[in-house]
Structure 1
C-alpha cells in the first residue's frame, strides 16, 4: 500500500512538474524547439566517454577535443576556463578568481580555492563608508587568482601540455564573434564601456558598441595568453604581464602591487561533504556558497519527499528555507581570518536544520527580523560555470568570476585583461538606519583576506559512485539556483534537461522580496513562474518582483543504474542552460 501511494505521489509530481515547465513558452527562434522535446534541443547531449557543459558552445567544444585527445578533466577545465575568459569577458577571466571542486576517479576529492584576495595595502576603512569606491574603479580591484589555481591543479593532474591547453583561447582572442548574451551584457553596461579607454577600444572601437555577431579583436589578450602558454603563471605573478597589470591598476587609482601578485597562492582544501536526500553532496568550504547550499538541502530534506516540495506550498517552503539560510550565511567569512567553526558546524548539522524547519510556517511568511539574521547581505554578482566529466570519470565543477559585469569596469590596456571588482564582495563599516541590519564584521576587509562568495560548485555521489556535476553562475542567486536544479532532478524526478529548464525563484532575506523569473532568454525561450503559483505565494504574504535574468546552470548526470558492467561507468547526460545560450559537448 505504501509503495503504491509513493508511486502515485511520484506520478502526480511528474504531471505537476511537466505542467510547471510547460508554462515556459518554447518558441525558440533559434531551433524551433517545444517543451515536449519533440524536436531536438541543442542544450542537451548524451555522451558515453566524456562531456563538457559550459556557458559557451565554443568553449564546450574546446573542452571536448581536449578530452578526446586523452586529456584529464582538469586539462579540459583549464582550456574551457581560459576560453570563457576570452569570449565571456563580462563574467570571468584572467583578471578574476574561481573555486574548483575536483573528484578523481579513485574517489579522492579536492577543493581548490583560487578566490581573489585583498591587496596588502587594503584596510577595513579604506573606502570611508563610500560603497561606490569598492564597486568599480581601481580601488575595487583585488589580487587575481584564477591562473594560479588552474596551473596548480594542472601540474598535479594534467596529462596534456600546458601550451596545448592555452592555445585555443589565444586563437579566439585574435578574433571572436560577440555572442547574444555578451551583447546583452554590453548593452547593460554601455556607459561604463564607453567611459573606459580599454573597454571602449575593444567593444566600441568606432565609438559605438559592436553588434551581436560582429568580430571582437583582443590582440593584447592574445599576446598575454601566448606568453602564459610559454612561461606559465610566473610571467603573470612575477614578470612582464604582472608589471604591466600593476601599472594599469595603479594608474586607475588602485593599490595592487607586484608584492601582492608574488605572494598570491591558490589553496587546496578539503571539500565539504554532506549526506542528504540519499546522496553524498560534495561542496566548496568557506568562503564559498557551499555551506549555505548544504544547509538549505538539509532543511528541505526534513519534509516528506517528494510530496513535501510539490506545488506552490513546496515553493513557499523553499523560499522560507532560503530566508533562514541567508540569515545564517553572513556569519561566515575567510576561515584564515575569522573563527567560523561553530557556524559551519551548524550549517552542516541535520539537527540544526530540524530546528529551522520547525520555524517555517506553511501559511505565511515574516519580516527579516523573524529569521534571526544579525547582519546585512553582500550582493555578489555575475560569474561563469563549467561542469566536466572525463572518460575515466574524473569530475570537475568550477565557477569563476570577475564579479560585476566587466568587473571593475576597467580593461588593462597593456594586457587586454578585464580587471575584477572583487573588493565589492567585502562588507565595510558604515552607518545604517535603525531598521536595517549592520554590515557583517566576519566579512570586513583585511590584507590578503578572501571575501565571502555565493559560488557553489557541487559534485553528487550515490553509493560512492559519481552521479552528477552541477553549479551555476548568477551571483547571490547561485545558492538557490543550484539547489533548485538538484531538487528538481533528485527529489522531484525531472530529467536533467527539465531540471534546468524549470523556472526559478530566489530570496536573499534582505530586501524581503521573492524574485521570480519573467524573461525571454537569448535562445528565445520564455521563463516565467506560473500565475497561479504567484497568487498562492502572495496569499501567504510574499512580496513578488519579476526578474529579467537569474542563474545559469551547467548540469551533467551519469546513469550509474545502468552502468557498463557495474563498474560505475554510465552514459552522461549533459545540459547547458539555454538562458545564456550555452551548448554542451561530448563524445
Structure 2
C-alpha cells in the first residue's frame, strides 16, 4: 500500500506530505493538512467549522469514525437567537436560499476534532503539526482557478464585512492565481499551537467568539463551548466488488447506497451498470452548495486517516483581528430538524470512508466535498476503481452524473458532465431519466480526494491534488 496524501489544494497536500516525511503518522499528516486547508482553502472550509474523521489502523484492521460536527447552541439559556440574514446563491443555474449572520453560527467542532485525532493516533508534538499552517497564514497562498469559480457562486456569503478586503480587494473578486491572505489568522493558529484546541472553547479565542456572535444576536454562550465533546460513532459496512467499504451513517446514506448496488455490477454491460448506479443514487432533490473539503492520508505503515470538514457557506462574521471566518451551519435549513435541541449534534452528508480487501488490508482511503453530491462523487470514484479497475487519477477525473428528483414533476433527473459515455447516457434516458447536460466539468459534482493501491488523486473540479509519498 503506497503512502500518500490527497487534498483540495497543492499547498494543503504538500503540508501533509512533509509531515509524513518528518516521521508523522497518517493522523499527524491529516491534522496538519486540515489546518493548512483552513488557510489555503478558506473558500471551502475553516477552523470554526465542523467535520468527521475515519481512521484505519493497519496493525489491527480496526476502523474508527469520529464526529466533530457543529452543535446547536443554547445551553446558556439563550436558545432563541435573533434573525438571520437571508441571501441567495446561484449554483449550476439554480438559485438557492441560505441565511448568514451571527444568528447562523453553530458551536464549532474542528479544533476539538483535530485535537482528538492527534491525541489518539498522532506521533509528532502538537506544535510541530500546527506549525506549517502558521507559516502559510503568514505568507498567504495562491487561489486555484477552480476555487475562484466557487468563490463567484458563494460571494454573497464571503464578502460581507471583513471578507470584502480578503476575497474582493478593491471591489474585484479574487481570480485564479491571485494571492489569498487572511490578516491575523497566523495569530489564531499560533494560539492553537501554544494553548491547544481548548483556546477555542474555554480560552481567550472562545471568549472572543461568544462576544462577537452575541453582539449580533447569535445564541452561542460559554456553556455551549465548554460542553462540546467529540463523539465516536458506529461504523457501517457495505460490500462492493469483493471489497469492504466502511464509514459512518450520513444524512445521504452513502454506505446503504453502496450496499444496494447489484453484487454482479462488474458483469453488467456499461449501460446496465449506469442505470443500476443511477437507481442506487436516486434521492429526493437535496441540492445544497456546501463549503466543504476533504483530506485523505495513508502513512508508511499503511494506516489511513480521512477527514472531511465544512464551514457551511460561511456566516460573513469574522473574529476581530484574527482572520477567522465563523460557520453558518444554523443557516443551512436542510440540516435543521425538529428533534434538535441545545447541545445536540447537527446532521451532515459528509462520509469519509476506507475500503479494505477480503483480508482486511487497506485498498482505498477516500472522502469528498459537495453536500448532496458527496455520495455521488464517492460512489462514482469507488466504482471506477473497484469495478472498472481505473487508476485513482482517472477514477476521480472521469465525468460523473448526479441523480435528483424534480420537485415539480417528481420525475428522475440525471445531471451529466460532458464526456460521460454517450451509450450509458442513452441507457439512462431509456430507463426514464431526464438528461440535463452540463457544458463543463464542474465543482457542482463534488470534490473527491483519495489515496490507495490505485494511487493518490485530488479532484480537479475544486483544485485538488494527490501526492504519493
- TM score, norm. by length of structure 2: 0.88
Instruction: Kindly indicate whether the alpha-carbon contact (under 8 Å) linking 1:322 and 1:509 is maintained by their aligned counterparts in 2.
Output: no
Q: Structure 1 residues 60 and 580, CA, compared in 2 at 3 Å: closer, same or farther?
A: same
Could you tell me which of 152, 158, 167 is aligned with 2:131?
Answer: 167
SS at 1:585's partner residue?
strand
Larger strand proportion of the pair: 2
The separation in 2 between residues aligned to 1:312 and 1:240, in whole angstroms, is 58
2:376 counterpart of 1:422? no
Q: Does 1:497 align with 2:388?
A: no
The Cα shift of 1:502 comes to 1.6
CA deviation map 1:142-182 (0-9, x unaligned)? 11101101111212221111111111111111222222223
Shift of 1:539: 3.4
Give 1:222 shift: 0.9
Residue 318 of structure 1 is matched in structure 2 by: 277
CA offsets per residue over residues 1-60 of structure 1, 9 Å max, x none? xxxxxxxxxxxxxxxxxxxxxxxxxxxxxxxxxxxxxxxxxxxxxx94x21011111111
Equivalent of 1:474 in 366, 370, 388: 370
Three-state SS of the structure 1 residue aligned to 2:449 is strand
SS at match of 1:455: coil
Structure 1 residues 210 and 294, CA gap change in structure 2 (3 angstroms): closer
- Structure 2 distance, partners of 1:192, 1:384, is 17
Partner of 1:100: 53
Evaluate the alpha carbon distance shift between residue 180 and residue 141 of structure 1 in structure 2; reply closer, same or farther with a 3 A threshold. Answer: same
Q: Normalising by structure 1, report the TM-score.
A: 0.71
Mapping of 1:437-476 within 5 angstroms?
441=338, 444-462=339-357, 463-476=359-372
Aligned partners of 2:6 and 2:451 also within 8 Å: yes
Larger radius of gyration: 1
The Cα shift of 1:380 comes to 6.3
Work out whether residues 469 and 557 of structure 1, in 8 Å CA contact, stay in contact via their aligned partners in 2.
Answer: yes
Query: Contact (CA 8 Å) 2:352, 2:367: kept in 1 or not?
Result: yes
In the alignment, the residues of structure 2 paired with residue 500 and residue 115 of structure 1 have an alpha-carbon distance, to the nearest angstrom, of: 26
Distance 1:230 1:488 in 2: 43
CA distance in 2, matches of 1:208, 1:298: 47
Q: Secondary structure at the match of 1:296?
A: helix
- Stretches of structure 1 lacking an aligned partner (at least 5 in a row): 1-46, 328-375, 430-439, 519-526, 559-571
| C-alpha distance in 2 between matches for 1:213 and 1:471 | 26
Q: 1:300 to 1:189 in 2, by over 3 A?
A: closer
1:189 alignment partner in structure 2: 154
> Could you say what the CA RMSD is over the residues aligned between the two structures, in angstroms?
2.7
Unaligned runs of 5+ in 2: 89-96
Name 2:92's counterpart in structure 1.
Answer: none
CA distance in 1 between counterparts of 2:300 and 2:419 reads 37
Residue 254 of structure 2 corresponds to which residue in structure 1? 293
Deviation, 1:189, is: 3.1
Q: Secondary structure at the match of 1:507?
A: strand
Asked if 1:543 is matched to 2:434, the reply is yes
Structure 2 residue corresponding to 1:306, chosen from 266, 272, 275: 266
Contact kept, 8 Å, 2:405 with 2:412, in 1: the verdict is yes
